[in-house]
A and B are shown apart, each in its own frame.
Chain A
């Protein structure tokens, strides 16, 4: 089952894909504009203290319950690290496992990501079969995004590897509960962040001006179109207006840092053929680079499932593996996947710790991050895997924190949000912060 090719990824040749990712050289291709230089936008005035950042990583289907979670009786700091978390041993004092939470409205047993950061009720809006609300990362982005080129960055994977995540285009949902799109490969991410741009300044200014005129044009059209629409149609078309406003915001930012000299790209362009483990590894590297260069302060990553399994040589597909049975091959695969996740995460923490800020502190000290899913394992949605790390939210790390059963997971998100200084009283159905999580 785990044969050479990753499942249905190369419908088009890599050459075409690469070509497309690079854009056609069309001046109208807005994304390339974003890549003009990658130095910290506010580098003219280096901030006194390094900024706070948030990272959320969702894995879709959950973990091997028996070997990933620490024993709930073995609470606190001295807990024994279970097999699935062993690769994180060297960071044991720098992360906390939170147990006992759940999202009360989540019932879709195959949707590990859709409501993970929102906790919304699918049927919360009368007259609609699907609804969602803003995700925790976007709450942070609304405040932090002003300062960076990208308000937030969403990462994802190949379109055919989203089984176990549920509806959505990434982990992120905007203020109105609409899905935000992601960059779906390391190469795409790299190019968006660091692609070289040799176009002279004057011409770049002209391009920016042109982008504005493009937006002006379609705005004229959109306003004309708006006339005579029903309420629900107007709401729909509002997505179009919002898109344009979002781009305008980005253009304004682009304008501000247009004459900031370019920096060198941090490393070589990634191979387009990275799959699974090496793909996640590269994405983690890019995440570190993106926050180090202050391209953004908020990142979510919806991680690959079947691509990870196949890259590990593990048998089974993510759904079957999530239904692992004791002693079977699926259980072996499930544990392999957990181990790989923990190893990769340990690598990410290493990088965050070794990357220094201007004031000599490490990136790790200013990040708050969570790794997990809305699904524990199999079809269980109670006690979903929740790993919290990073020194940026002043949280009590290094413990096996067992909360009362049914504690809203949104309380954890709220605690993190407040911890990094986001001005917010509640998130979704939160009932308060988790005091035990605070240092």
Chain B
């Protein structure tokens, strides 16, 4: 298996490739619909388990002799699980009996834990049932939006996650009384919001502009003057104090105070001890009530303010400061600004001297409590790339939505991580170095907000109101009935409500009218009841147990649009369904192509990728500001979006949509911010686009993405174990079994000043750990060139305890050694070779991983053995199209399971 490192890299890869055909068999998993522990372990089982737990002895009342190697029942699985558990915890075999060899035990554990995973899958197989699906959070938000033109805030919506299955899996989407109440409240909120919008349909747009040189610069100049005056007095006082201290009779005064040359501390003690210092000046003579005051209000940002006040271009705009001072330009339009969509425009430039990551503004709502520190309430709404210069500023334009409860105040600031560490770890050291603090970066000429922009096409409810004006029917109640009926049909995705239901809603309306007095208020209650009705919340597909039937055209339209849009079908789909054309394979194919080109396909890609790739981990950690300043909230959001956009790019690409581009590609799909993170030049603006990579770039494909590496970290350091597991799970379709309970943790080497690789070497010493970690760890170490924020590095620091007993990085860095060997597989010399091996030889496994996720997401049931044939069909068909992503979707949509209830 050793590879000659003298050979050229190219030759090396050829060599590896040749060997691969021989050794990679370990990664090709057969998929029998049964869970069977390989027969080769019979001897181990006999030697180490059956000597006490055979049918005769039954030590501890455990009889394993009758336990079959093929697992077909939950009880058998339970007993095997016990065997696995006691071996993992080291409880068995007992200490006084003969112990198995390490390798032998690791192999047994390895196969048994994988067999258990298979057994669980076999035993929990859905048998091909698709359980009725409740709208998940994404579906609900989009469905309400498509009915009312109102987008509810995601944070207000009920969560779905209760079981670990995908959020499209009907069986795992639960409903409870409080969720139902939430739906009632939310529905009402959406209807109210709808009325707000309706009321301002014809509102006249206004423009509100801020010229920061008229506000921020005036304040800055005042600060500078105030500071100078203060400093003058302070320096005079200080000089007199120095004179006094220099007097021979005051010798030893400072030592007596114990202030060790710290001026601030000395000042704090001076008020009490003034009499002890001969010739001490009186602070009142210099306009200070006390020494304490003089020290406490010392303008520590004076030089920072002064530096910025003296910069050029201050007559026409403002240099944005970080940490303190002119940190934000605030847009404070009138409070009665109507709901709607607004355009925000910024004219700004950036100095070339600033590093690329400081070329971005953030737009958000200011936090009134900490405006001077430039803090926002909540996360930034957008990050905006500034590319012009102060001499030639550039116009940046973006849009924001204002809802009923949206704060009517906006702010822009330079992008930044948390305030405290930025001050302590960056501002203060910088001030010591350059005398003033953060160097200037972004200059803003002006900021304005314009709107509300004209509203688009009327929403379905709007159209229903327009079609049923007051007086259009002989009686008002009839009009109410028409409106409610028409809205229910829309909300129920063209399925018709019963007259009894509408009758009951009309009754509710009548009762409300007594209290509310007017139609426009009273009608809101029955409308919101429709939005909490089962036929809106659930996607009804009648069926018969044991007699699957084909979906009708309308049902197919609904399934299709919630699959690819997480939204209800649009008029074109409904039209085709009505004409019973949708089930025609060519028509259906054409519709899939249309749907994935539509912006709504983003919901599909984000919903699928987030769950398939376990991306919730991306939100687990605050990133350490000192080590990963650039991984702020804007980067986190952009890194996540990069994953989605890379998949969308393939999905929509006519000829280059091959899935394997996600394993390795010669391009990335990034915006200006991610390009800056990766050190790529010439990418301007905030939209994502395909950018070619230089040769030998570590970027291109999942293994080069910041989001993937950040997920495989704890916000501080990389985690080779997380990363290795992730690669096995998602790229190599060889998921390690869930972290076992009760395995002893190894801490022997914790205090040693070793590298991560050296520390994790203990994993291989114990069979219980080795059984999984021998597969996981080498891959994780192969990715060590990426730090926690996904930046490339060639060296790492070891961690040792410092004098305070905290773990701190060593002063010297050690070169990263990414070389490794796949368990029972080929070796790689560095990250590039690792990536090459995965890209070349895991293509089919990767396609299978994607297929299984796609099936679970699309069919709404956990992937099981029932779906094995479908998965094979999809794989065979898409292989014929070079694994083009859109082909996977076409085959799934055309498949029988997708069109069957």
- Seen from chain A, the residues whose Cβ lies within 8 Å of a Cβ on chain B are 1-5, 7-8, 10-17, 19-20, 23-24, 26-31, 105-110, 121, 123-124, 126-130, 159-160, 163, 167-169, 174, 178-181, 203, 206, 209-210, 213-214, 216-218, 220-222, 224-225, 227-233, 236-237, 239-240, 242-244, 246-247, 250, 310, 316-317, 319-320, 323, 325-329, 378-382
Cα–Cα, bound, A99→B544 (Å): 51
Contact (Cβ within 8 A) B185 A26: yes
* A209: B residues at CB distance < 8 A: 511
Contact (Cβ within 8 A) B85 A214: no
Q: Closest approach, in angstroms, between the C-beta of A375 and any C-beta of chain B?
A: 8
Cα–Cα, bound, A26→B516 (Å): 11
CB-nearest residue of chain B relative to A209?
B511
Contact (Cβ within 8 A) A7 B127: no
Q: Can you identify 17 A-B contacts, CB atoms within 8 angstroms?
A: A11-B154, A16-B153, A16-B407, A20-B156, A30-B181, A124-B74, A203-B515, A221-B533, A228-B542, A233-B543, A239-B175, A240-B537, A243-B180, A317-B715, A323-B745, A328-B807, A378-B745
Contact (Cβ within 8 A) B508 A210: yes
Contact (Cβ within 8 A) B716 A1: yes
Contact (Cβ within 8 A) B533 A317: no
Contact (Cβ within 8 A) B377 A13: yes
CB-nearest residue of chain B relative to A232?
B131
**B514-549 interface (Cβ within 8 A of A):** 515, 524-526, 528-529, 532-535, 537-538, 540-545
**B386-433 interface (Cβ within 8 A of A):** 405-407, 417-421
Number of contact residues on B: which range applies? 35 or more
Contact (Cβ within 8 A) A167 B164: yes
Q: Does B687 contact A (CB under 8 A)?
A: no
Cα–Cα, bound, A2→B165 (Å): 31
Residue B188 contacts which of A16, A29, A310 (CB distance < 8 angstroms)?
A29
Contact (Cβ within 8 A) B131 A123: no
Residue B620 contacts which of A163, A174, A243 (CB distance < 8 angstroms)?
A163
Q: Does B210 contact A (CB under 8 A)?
A: no
Main secondary structure of the interface of B (DSSP, over half): loop
The 4 closest A-B pairs by CB, nearest first: A228-B542, A246-B177, A3-B418, A233-B132
Contact A179 B534, CB 8 Å, known A26-B188, A230-B543 = no
CB-nearest residue of chain A relative to B154?
A11
Contact (Cβ within 8 A) A3 B420: yes
Q: Does B741 contact A (CB under 8 A)?
A: yes
Contact (Cβ within 8 A) B184 A320: no
Contact (Cβ within 8 A) A5 B622: yes
Interface centre among A106, A217, A229 (most CB of B within 10 A): A217
Contact (Cβ within 8 A) A222 B534: yes
Q: Closest approach, in angstroms, between the C-beta of B596 and any C-beta of chain A?
A: 28
CB-nearest residue of chain B relative to A229?
B542
The stretch of B293-301, B346-354, B497-505 that contacts the partner chain: B497-505
**B109-145 interface (Cβ within 8 A of A):** 120-121, 123-127, 129, 131-132, 134
Contact (Cβ within 8 A) A240 B184: no
Residue B170 contacts which of A107, A129, A236 (CB distance < 8 angstroms)?
A236
* B747: A residues at CB distance < 8 A: 325-326
Contact (Cβ within 8 A) A123 B535: no
Contact (Cβ within 8 A) B525 A159: no
Contact (Cβ within 8 A) A130 B189: no
* A108: B residues at CB distance < 8 A: 738, 741
Residue B534 contacts which of A5, A20, A225, A380 (CB distance < 8 angstroms)?
A225
Interface centre among A5, A106, A206 (most CB of B within 10 A): A5
Q: Closest approach, in angstroms, between the C-beta of B854 and any C-beta of chain A?
A: 18
Contact A10 B165, CB 8 Å, known A1-B624, A222-B534 = no
CB-nearest residue of chain A relative to B180?
A243
* A2: B residues at CB distance < 8 A: 622
Q: Mark B146-168, 1 if CB is under 8 A from A, else 0.
A: 00000001111011011111000
Contact A236 B171, CB 8 Å, known A27-B525, A163-B620, A379-B740 = yes
Cα–Cα, bound, A210→B504 (Å): 11
Contact (Cβ within 8 A) A247 B74: no
Cα–Cα, bound, A26→B171 (Å): 32
Cα–Cα, bound, A365→B490 (Å): 57
Residue A327 contacts which of B175, B179, B524, B750 (CB distance < 8 angstroms)?
B750
Interface centre among A27, A236, A329 (most CB of B within 10 A): A236
CB-nearest residue of chain A relative to B544?
A230
Cα–Cα, bound, A29→B537 (Å): 18
Cα–Cα, bound, A279→B765 (Å): 44
Contact (Cβ within 8 A) A123 B741: no
Cα–Cα, bound, A181→B757 (Å): 43
Contact (Cβ within 8 A) A127 B124: yes
Cα–Cα, bound, A24→B512 (Å): 16
Contact (Cβ within 8 A) B505 A217: yes
- New contact pairs (10) apart from A1-B621, A1-B623, A316-B714, CB-CB < 8 Å: A107-B738, A129-B164, A169-B159, A218-B529, A229-B542, A233-B543, A237-B534, A246-B176, A320-B714, A379-B742
Q: Does B695 contact A (CB under 8 A)?
A: no
CB-nearest residue of chain A relative to B174?
A178
* A237: B residues at CB distance < 8 A: 132, 534, 538
Q: Closest approach, in angstroms, between the C-beta of A150 and any C-beta of chain B?
A: 11
* B179: A residues at CB distance < 8 A: 181, 243
**B535-593 interface (Cβ within 8 A of A):** 535, 537-538, 540-545
* A126: B residues at CB distance < 8 A: 74, 123-124
CB-nearest residue of chain A relative to B536?
A221
* B176: A residues at CB distance < 8 A: 169, 174, 178-181, 239, 242-243, 246
